[in-house]
Amino acid sequence: MALYVQKFGGTSVGSVERIKAVAEKVKTFRNQGHQVVVVVSAMSGETNRLIQLASEINDDPTPREMDMLVSTGEQVTISLLAMALQKTGVPATSYTGAQVGILTDSAHTKARIQRIETDELRQDLDNGKVVVVAGFQGVDDDGNITTLGRGGSDTTGVALAAALNADECQIYTDVDGVYTTDPRVCSRARRLDSITVEEMLEMASSGSKVLQIRAVEFAGKYKVPLRVLSSFAEGQGTLIVADDQEDERNMEEPLISGIAFNTNEAKLTVLNTPDVPGVASKILGPIADANIEVDMIVQNVAPAGDYTDFTFTVSKADYRQTKRILEESIVPSLGGGEVRGDDQIAKVSLVGVGMRSHAGVASRMFRVLADEGINIRMVSTSEIKISVVIDEKFMELAVRALHTAFGLDREDVNEET
Amino acid sequence: MALYVQKFGGTSVGSVERIKAVAEKVKTFRNQGHQVVVVVSAMSGETNRLIQLASEINDDPTPREMDMLVSTGEQVTISLLAMALQKTGVPATSYTGAQVGILTDSAHTKARIQRIETDELRQDLDNGKVVVVAGFQGVDDDGNITTLGRGGSDTTGVALAAALNADECQIYTDVDGVYTTDPRVCSRARRLDSITVEEMLEMASSGSKVLQIRAVEFAGKYKVPLRVLSSFAEGQGTLIVADDQEDERNMEEPLISGIAFNTNEAKLTVLNTPDVPGVASKILGPIADANIEVDMIVQNVAPAGDYTDFTFTVSKADYRQTKRILEESIVPSLGGGEVRGDDQIAKVSLVGVGMRSHAGVASRMFRVLADEGINIRMVSTSEIKISVVIDEKFMELAVRALHTAFGLDREDVNEET
């Protein structure tokens, strides 16, 4: 007998029929003798509906009232799922975040979990009940309802699994696992049986949307075995293993686990910056002050002269504002220079713990791209990731070429473009 | 400075525009220097939408899960109203029933309030805040969300007013007060400036839908001044005064305060029942066992013989089932007899504390009806009410004739039919 925490997202509970399907899936596990805690999100579309209502009333409501409002979304789902389970003959009880005792700080709309009371849950489980918990929400010390921010239901699932010392936290989504890259871009993409937490984090921060970064971090920190699988199809999904378990994986695994990419960023370059200490902070300080997040940063080593080029990327949404800040205040105060920007770029990242022990991944990556005639605009590396910025129009070509070159293609797919 | 509890029903908060209008109304009171606690229902249609969702999943869900589900309706409204108040510059905080500490028993879907914690509310009020509380809901000792049953928001309002010792509980509805009778049936109906709790109870139980009976009872028990007024129009509405304040009313007030009526009932008569002790309970026992509620009961005194006729009314919805029970089990076991039924009836009731000290109301009522050629099928009386059952088709005629005969007509209306 195992204890599973199963989390179902908004699409998986998006209609009466899908809620019934989730109940059947949970029932199957329970009938195999397992204990099950289910965490659910709001039905898809519901959170947006509520936010829309609020926006028609007040364009700047207090975060406390926003949390009061949107937390109703999950409360609807937990009661409906408990009813669906009861209908199939499975005893079930639902709990809001506050009821289950998911205690958070008071940072409304982005609260962090501080501790979870599990006594009542355990008692219900020991009495043969399935427990249904509202994801995404908690309660602070003063009894105010808080939310963990968008996607926080994954975090609720992992945190509950950690608190209950569950055997596995299963995240059911609309994809059947983690892929070597996005199958919509590369038809030869392959589902991974497993991936390490570290790789998953790099994949997520590089554009793969399967899991919330916070949930993966949480799973890594508390050593919660985490599995991503499909709500709609059978299959084993992808197991996300703690980093120290990586050795157990097949030695024949390729160097690279996956290729992530995104086109959400724009690149800005300040040309001819004086190459003196403090320049980077002079450039980035006012940008951080404007609450603009910077992703990649590259500063070329100054050649003979005293000037250098400073390049960084920001979210496309922040592109115009960043350019204005650079042109109007930063560059003049640095004494001249020129700002160049490009928002037609893509970032493509190779991710894999195998890189640690194998040299030459970067040079092989650059050669593959060169062979396809793709110019590299920026490079940044971490211990298990290499990211390049290229022209947006080459993105699909780059992903497919790298996917094949690094041995990630499915074996059962014939050559296609 | 006064403390008002203001309750707004589902129609009054049925859209973004109406929520904004409620915020403006509340703001006006607050700007006059008053403290205001607002109690709101779910937006109109929302509770039915949720019940519909549940019914598609489980035709017999546990009451606990139903309460979990439908209580989200008010939670949405309180947060939206708090946001609307904040937008107009009024500091406001919303509370669910559980948060405010409305402690109830555990009778899910029809819980009764046991006590209310008011410390936090008072603190907010003293800090200049408007407090917005979810009507209709509470929490039991184990932390389960409970609901007070349909219309329970009125009860929440009155109970909060009692607990806070408020100066007045104002119930805002889609009508501008309590009328002598339904203006849709009798155009000469007149709004009452005041009515006693006892009269209001008789009116409500006889078909007038303005207020929930429980809320009125609560107001009477705890001497809470209760006022019914319109969300949409200006006006003083109708003040419902405690019974011992009735003497303060104008001595020129007519004998009768109002005429209530309904067509929701059906009448059943068991003819030729043996006139022996225990017959009534033999007839009504199995009907109560089937959870059918009986309203009026009339048993004629047996004439010379040993047989009598036993007549009672039930809800029209229970008519067929009641007739079947009578015919299949009760009547045969009583040794014969015959069952006659009629579901084309109306009940018309005169209500007024003035009746107590004035004889002859009944005979005057019967004469008015006789003059219109209306046959009386049943009569039952209480200290301040006389109800008659007549053929449904005569209902409007009876109401209008009685309204005029007992001096209830508005003075500014010309004679019409």
Residue-wise pLDDT tens digits, A230-278: 988 889 999 998 776 554 555 445 578 899 999 999 999 988 887 777 7
* pLDDT given for residue B300 in this prediction: 73
Backbone angles phi, psi at B159, to 5 degrees: -65, -40
Is A94–B143 a contact, with Cβ atoms under 8 angstroms apart?
no
Q: Does A143 lie at the interface with B, CB-CB under 8 angstroms?
A: yes
Is B76–A53 a contact, with Cβ atoms under 8 angstroms apart?
yes
Three-class DSSP category at B351: strand
Q: Does B109 lie at the interface with A, CB-CB under 8 angstroms?
A: no
Nearest in space to B117 (alpha carbons), one of B145, B98, B135: B98
Q: Is B143 annotated as a binding residue?
A: no
Nearest residue of chain A to residue B96 (CA atoms): A68
Whether residue A192 is predicted with pLDDT greater than 80 in this model: the reply is: yes
What mean pLDDT value characterizes chain B?
A: 89
* pLDDT given for residue B301 in this prediction: 63
Alpha-carbon span A97 to A72, nearest angstrom = 11
Residue-wise pLDDT tens digits, B175-225: 889 999 998 899 999 999 999 998 998 888 776 777 888 888 889 989 999
Are the beta carbons of B151 and B113 closer than 8 angstroms? no
Whether residue A107 is predicted with pLDDT greater than 90 in this model: the reply is: yes
* pLDDT given for residue A416 in this prediction: 45
Q: Is B156 annotated as a binding residue?
A: no
Whether residue B408 is predicted with pLDDT greater than 80 in this model: the reply is: yes
Are the beta carbons of A347 and A262 closer than 8 angstroms? yes
Nearest in space to A352 (alpha carbons), one of A342, A362, A344, A343: A362
Q: Is B307 annotated as a binding residue?
A: no
Q: Does A21 lie at the interface with B, CB-CB under 8 angstroms?
A: no
Whether residue B162 is predicted with pLDDT greater than 50 in this model: the reply is: yes
Give A138→chain B minimum CA distance, Å: 13
Q: State the burial class of residue A174 (Cβ atoms within 10 Å of its Cβ: 0-12, 13-18, 19+).
A: middle
Could you say which of A50, A61, A86 has the minimum Cβ distance to residue B86? A61
* pLDDT given for residue B304 in this prediction: 62
- Rounded to an integer, the average pLDDT of A312-326 is 93
A50 contacts in B (CB within 8 Å)?
76
- Rounded to an integer, the average pLDDT of B73-87 is 98
Whether residue A336 is predicted with pLDDT greater than 60 in this model: the reply is: yes
Residue-wise pLDDT tens digits, B296-316: 888 776 666 677 788 999 999
Query: Averaging pLDDT over each range in B10-19, B142-151, B355-364, which range is the top one?
Result: B10-19
Alpha-carbon span B133 to B113, nearest angstrom = 15
A73/A354: higher pLDDT: A73
Are the beta carbons of B238 and B177 closer than 8 angstroms? yes
What is the secondary structure of A357-416 as a DSSP string?
G-TTHHHHHHHHHHHTTPPEEEEEEETTEEEEEEEGGGHHHHHHHHHHHTT-S-TT----
* pLDDT given for residue A414 in this prediction: 52
Instruction: Walk me through the domains of chain B, giving residue ranges and CATH numbers.
Output: 3-174 (3.40.1160.10)
- Rounded to an integer, the average pLDDT of B31-37 is 96
Give B89→chain A minimum CA distance, Å: 11
Nearest in space to A130 (alpha carbons), one of A230, A236, A33, A43: A33
Whether residue B266 is predicted with pLDDT greater than 90 in this model: the reply is: yes
Give B51→chain A minimum CA distance, Å: 10
Q: State the burial class of residue B242 (Cβ atoms within 10 Å of its Cβ: 0-12, 13-18, 19+).
A: middle
Alpha-carbon span B413 to B410, nearest angstrom = 6
B244 pLDDT band (50/70/90 cuts)? low
* pLDDT given for residue B415 in this prediction: 47
Is B54–A79 a contact, with Cβ atoms under 8 angstroms apart?
yes
Q: Does A38 lie at the interface with B, CB-CB under 8 angstroms?
A: no
- Rounded to an integer, the average pLDDT of B265-278 is 84
Q: Does A345 lie at the interface with B, CB-CB under 8 angstroms?
A: no
* pLDDT given for residue A415 in this prediction: 47
Q: Is A118 annotated as a binding residue?
A: no
Whether residue A8 is predicted with pLDDT greater than 90 in this model: the reply is: yes
Are the beta carbons of A82 and A97 closer than 8 angstroms? no
Q: Does A102 lie at the interface with B, CB-CB under 8 angstroms?
A: no
Sign of CA dihedral B108, B112, B118, B122: positive
- Provide the 10 A C-beta neighbour count for residue B306: 11
B130 pLDDT band (50/70/90 cuts)? very high
Say which range, A216-230, B40-54, B352-366, has the weakest mean pLDDT: B352-366
Could you say which of B16, B61, B75 has the minimum Cβ distance to residue A57? B16
Is B80–A54 a contact, with Cβ atoms under 8 angstroms apart?
yes
Is B65–A94 a contact, with Cβ atoms under 8 angstroms apart?
yes
Is B50–A76 a contact, with Cβ atoms under 8 angstroms apart?
yes
Nearest residue of chain B to residue A15 (CA atoms): B53
- Provide the 10 A C-beta neighbour count for residue B30: 20
A20 contacts in B (CB within 8 Å)?
57
- Rounded to an integer, the average pLDDT of B119-137 is 96
A362 pLDDT band (50/70/90 cuts)? confident
Q: Is B8 annotated as a binding residue?
A: yes
Are the beta carbons of B11 and B174 closer than 8 angstroms? yes
Alpha-carbon span A66 to A59, nearest angstrom = 11
Q: Is B97 annotated as a binding residue?
A: no
B416 pLDDT band (50/70/90 cuts)? very low
Name the one residue in this structure whose structure tokens are 């100054």: A302
- Cα-Cα end-to-end distance for chain A: 47
Backbone angles phi, psi at B366, to 5 degrees: -65, -35
A64 contacts in B (CB within 8 Å)?
93
What mean pLDDT value characterizes chain A?
A: 89
Residue type, position B276, single letter? V
Nearest in space to A273 (alpha carbons), one of A306, A226, A241: A306
- What percent of chain B lies above the pLDDT cut of 90? 65
A93 contacts in B (CB within 8 Å)?
64
Residue-wise pLDDT tens digits, A135-181: 999 999 999 999 997 669 999 999 999 999 999 999 998 888 999 99
Q: Does B79 lie at the interface with A, CB-CB under 8 angstroms?
A: yes
- What percent of chain B lies above the pLDDT cut of 70? 94
Complex ipTM over 0.90: no
